[in-house]
Each structure stands twice: as C-alpha cells, then as structure tokens.
Chain A
C-alpha cells in the first residue's frame, strides 16, 4: 500500500520554436539511445515520456484523408509520479538537469534548468488538466522495484530447487526467505466470503469426529 503521496499525473504541452523541430527530434533520439533513461533519475516517477506532436507524417490507415495541419509543432510531456506537482517539477529539474534543456530547450520561452523559479513557472504554466488517467500500481516506485526483485528471487529459487524433495524444499525456502515478513496465516480465512463458511464448519466437524 502506498503511504506517501498518491500517484499523480502531469501533462505539459509546450510549443516548439519554429525551425527547431528537427533538432528537437534528434535530441530526443539521442536521449532515447542512452543506456540509462534520463527519467530514471527523477525521484518517485513511474512513467514519463516526451512526444513531438506534429500531425501524421504519413497517412495512417483509418485517419481521415484531409487533415488540418497544425500551425506549430508541440512537445508533449506526460508523467505519473508519487509526488505533488510542484515537487515533481523540482525533481524533474534536479534529476534531468541538462537533459531537460536538451528537450524543452527547443520550446518557446523555456528558461533552462539552472533557473529554478523560471523552470517551475514554465512547466506549471504550460500544464494541462489531466481528466482521465490510470496508474498501474497503488505502490511507490520503491515498492514496485522490491516486489519485482522478490519475484526474481522466487523464480531463481524455484528453478534451482525443483529436484529437491518436499522437506528439503521447505528447509531451503526458510533459509532463503526466512527473513521475509510472512503474511498472517489467519488472514485468508478471515476474508473468506460467507458462502465458504459451511464447508469450513463441516471440515471442523469431521476433524472433531475423527478425534473422538
């Protein structure tokens, strides 16, 4: 369960300086080619992307034949982070640093990441309301990462231990994961729907009969 700020979307649309569209594309291409994605340095961010909005470069199937060209091209930024918007903007500034300039630096009126107040004003001013959105996880980035790590450990363990008998498996499991916090064994019963109860009672009765 997420105990920090809930996952929050952000959408920012900024006009590209006329004539700089190709340079922006090349910049984004370069950022995509980096080994470690720049958004990975932005705290508490689940998802983020830049998209150049330019109209369809080729006639995509299903698109109307006559489309009205945009007067300008735009850079669309969308993200989801466990942060209030103002804090997320500051995280973007300190996390992306020069990479922020490589993208938004081609947009009209962008002040640069070294101007904290200007950077904040620019992104918040160009922010669009996000009416409908979906967050994949009700958990922090850290919690998601930890869960994936745990799954990987379980997978490796399962592959490694498939030749072991039941008792050996239990021993190996406790040795490998014994330090993990195990869920309360009674919790599942407490959550059983009412329809399950007669079976449970029957089971208890049978056990009692066996005992007498």
Chain B
C-alpha cells in the first residue's frame, strides 16, 4: 500500500463528515472472544464506508465501528500484534490522564464509570439526519446486540447538533478540517475563500495534508508509511479519540462578563480573543475588530473563512493572541521559531487531527442541572504525536508559543499561570483569568476504526 485511496475500504465519517445532526454511540463489552467476533461478523456488512453516495441516495442512518485495545485483546488477537500497537493505545486512558492534564476536577475519579477502564471493547456509532431515524437505528442495533450471547451495552451516548452549528458556549464549530490529499471535499468547501485548511507553503499557497497523517498504510508528512503492527490489520484504518468534555455554560457567561469588566474590552471581543474566532466563526486573523461586537448575528457565517496565516503580520498576536484556542490547536505557519524555520507549516502538519465531535446533553444529575458539553471525537494516525501533542504540549503548556506557563483558556485544565494574555497595540496587555472548571473531562477512550477488509478479517479470527 502507500498509494491510492480505496474509499470502499475506509469507514465513513473519517475523511468526509456525514453532516448529520444526530448520533448515538453504543459502548459494548464482550464477555468472550466469540461475542466480539460475532458482533463484527453480523454488523460488519452494514458498516458505512467512505464511498461517495450516489446522487439522491443518502442513507437514513449510518453505522460505524471502532475497537479498543482491550477489545482487540478480548477477541484474541495474537500477542505479538497486541504488543506492537503504540503505547498510547495500549495503556488505559485513566493512566494517561495526568499527562493530558486530566487532574483535579477533570481527574479519572470524576469520569463516567465505564470510560478508560478497559471495560469498553467496541463502540458502535449510528448517525442520522432525523431524530426518528436515529431512534430506529438504535432500536435495531439494541435488538441485534441483545441477541448475541455474552455481548452487552455498558453505556450509551447521544449527541445532537445545536442550531446554527454552535457548541454550548455559542461558538460556531466544526468547519475547519484538514484538507487531505486525494480526498474530494464537498463542493461547498471548494470555494476559494475556504482554502487554508491544508499545509501553508512558503510561496503563499496551500497544499493538502498527506493521507498517512490520518489513515495508516499511506505516506505521511515524514515520507513514511506506518503499518504497525500488521498492514492487513491497520491499513486504511485510523485511531479514534473519544473524549467527553463537560462545559459549564453558566460559569462561562459569568467569567466572560467579569473578564470584560476587568479588561475594559467588549464582552464579545473577549470571547473572540480567547477563542481566536468571533462566535460566528469569523477568524480574528482576518477581522480583528468589528464596529459593534455586541450585535453579532446569531447565525454562523456560511463560510467563516480559513484562508489566513499568522505570519508575518501577526507575530505578536495583536490580532489573534498567541494563546488563543484556535492558534494553539492549529498554529498554521506560526511555529517558525523566530524565523529559523522557513517551512513552518510542515511542523504543524505533523500534528493535525480530523474532528467529528458533536454537543451532548445528559439527563440532570442529583443537583437537578443538566450536564452538557462536547463529545470530542477525532481521527489521527498517531495518537501520541497528534492528539496528545496538541492537548498536552500545545494546550496544557505555553512554552511552544513563548507563553511560559499560560495554558489554553478553555481546555488547559488546572495549574499553569492561571491567566491568558491578550496583547494589545495600545499599551498594556490584558489578562483573562483561567477557570479550570469551565471545561472538565468526563472520560476518554482510545479506539481504532479498521478498514473494511480488516473488519472482515477480525470477524473471521484472521489475526488470532
């Protein structure tokens, strides 16, 4: 492998999102190898692939499957294969929590009981455009799972898109995804104003990110092909990060108002500065000021704009702060180490992820408050190099950006300097205090979404 993209062998929703607004994830535990294999055998044929749907033949619901390390172990994968999976995938996420900043209110003791414990072997994800279709898909899946001896659902997680593509804090979300080599994006994303999602080139242009950054068995940005532990097992597959992030909306509103008062900046501008985009999605890099930031349209702009760079015009972060969320998680060309690295975009390209998260709202807890947040789901070829680097080194630390102990204002967790710095041209920088309770982790699972051939092989016990 290494060349060519067989969309029929790749699971759907990875390279291009379905664009459906409703999804449910069924987290399964198998008591025996046979239970897990039978599940893959019976449902594997219905798994939705990345092949483009014929015009007018959009399915009512889709199905995808991902397997945890403990799932592979439970279905009896050969030990030499198991041992050669990357360490990040093999170790329980509860043990990796401190390295990801999941301490204090985000610590595993507060996680959903089943997440990161090794109890989850398979995750079946169904998506649908309509709620009724999702309910039907879930009912059917439940029935089929119930008929497999030794297989049980340990938890369910529903997610539903909010109006105007917003997440719970009110930011438009999900429109800035990597442009991937060999992948046709929907025509709406091919508009000139939507370039800027690949790798920034020194000549001012952009190119797509190499496929191997997201699918194993293909050339990555380093010119290598990762096929460990076995090309037949991982080819056209990808690692999945499933992370439940709870958001405190009331606290967010309070701290935003307080930050506006203390900094003397309009509330909407503070909201934009901590994110790096206005709440309608417009980047600060292209629109650093608005005549009336208090009167933003409630509707996300159709094309929020991705065609921008941070250098050379915004090296100091006067438009988009160096510590703004979007600048941390995708620094684009900004990691040039003071001009020492010319092709700085290539550094960032080794740490990109494809995000497919969606908001969730769980039933009220004992205090009567509904618990809501973002079910963050991302795809990458190397969890440690991509997702974990972004979370642990770019969000939970400021060194990479010359920010010392400053952490990401949203997901940087507890510790650090306790503030975010907003540089300004008119004198003193402004400081916004960090509130670690704003977004807390409620659990993480690392999974692998195999290609279709590998799924069939797993169902037949080919890797045992």
Contact = CB atoms under 8 A, between A and B. Distances in A.
A152 B83 contact: no
B264 A155 contact: no
B224 A61 contact: yes
Interface in A2-51: none
Contacts of A159: 418-419, 431, 433
A59 B228 contact: yes
A117 B102 CA distance: 44
Contacts of B87: 58
A57 interface: yes
B418 A151 contact: no
A162 B430 contact: yes
B139 interface: no
Given A159-B418, A159-B419, A163-B264, A61 B431 contact: no
Interface in B255-291: 262-264
Nearest to A148: B405
Contacts of B418: 155-156, 159
A158 interface: yes
Given A162-B263, A163-B262, A61 B419 contact: no
B430 A58 contact: no
The winner among B87, B263, B417, B418 for most chain A CB atoms within 10 A is: B417
B84 interface: yes
Interface string B210-225: 0000000000000010
Interface residues of A, number: 13
B85 interface: yes
Contacts of A163: 262, 264
A62 B222 CA distance: 11
A58 B419 CA distance: 41
Interface string A49-65: 00000000111011000
A199 B84 CA distance: 64
Given A159-B419, A159-B433, A58 B84 contact: yes
Nearest to B434: A159
B59 interface: no
B431 A162 contact: yes
A168 to B, nearest CB: 13
A155 B419 contact: yes
Taking residues whose C-beta sits less than 8 angstroms from the other chain, chain B's interface range is: 20 to 34
A57 B83 contact: yes
Given A155-B419, A158-B431, A162-B428, A61 B228 contact: yes
Question: Chain B binding site: helix, strand, loop or mixed by DSSP?
Answer: loop
A58 B417 contact: no
A147 to B, nearest CB: 12
A162 B262 contact: yes
Nearest to A163: B262
Contacts of A151: 404
B417 A152 contact: yes
A61 B419 CA distance: 38
A155 B263 contact: no
B21 interface: no
B167 interface: no
B262 A155 contact: no
Interface string B58-91: 0000000000000000000000000111110000
B331 to A, nearest CB: 23
A119 to B, nearest CB: 32
B83 A58 contact: yes
A58 B82 CA distance: 9
B41 interface: no
Nearest to B261: A163
Contacts of B404: 151
B188 to A, nearest CB: 37
B408 interface: no
A73 B413 CA distance: 38
A28 B220 CA distance: 35
Contacts of A162: 262-263, 428, 430-431
B229 interface: yes
Interface string B417-439: 11100000000101101000000
Contact of B85 (A58, A156, A158): A58
Q: Of residues A152, A156, A162, which shows the largest number of chain B Cβ atoms within 10 Å of its Cβ? A: A162
Contacts of B417: 152, 155
Nearest to A152: B417
A162 B261 CA distance: 10
B377 to A, nearest CB: 25
The 6 A-B residue pairs whose C-beta atoms are closest, nearest first, are A58-B84, A159-B431, A159-B419, A155-B417, A58-B83, A59-B84
Interface of B: 83-87, 224, 226, 228-229, 262-264, 404-405, 417-419, 428, 430-431, 433
Given A58-B84, A162-B262, A163-B264, 7 more contacts: A58-B86, A59-B228, A61-B228, A62-B224, A152-B417, A159-B418, A163-B262
Interface of A: 57-59, 61-62, 151-152, 155-156, 158-159, 162-163
7 contacts: A58-B83, A58-B86, A58-B228, A61-B228, A62-B224, A155-B405, A162-B263
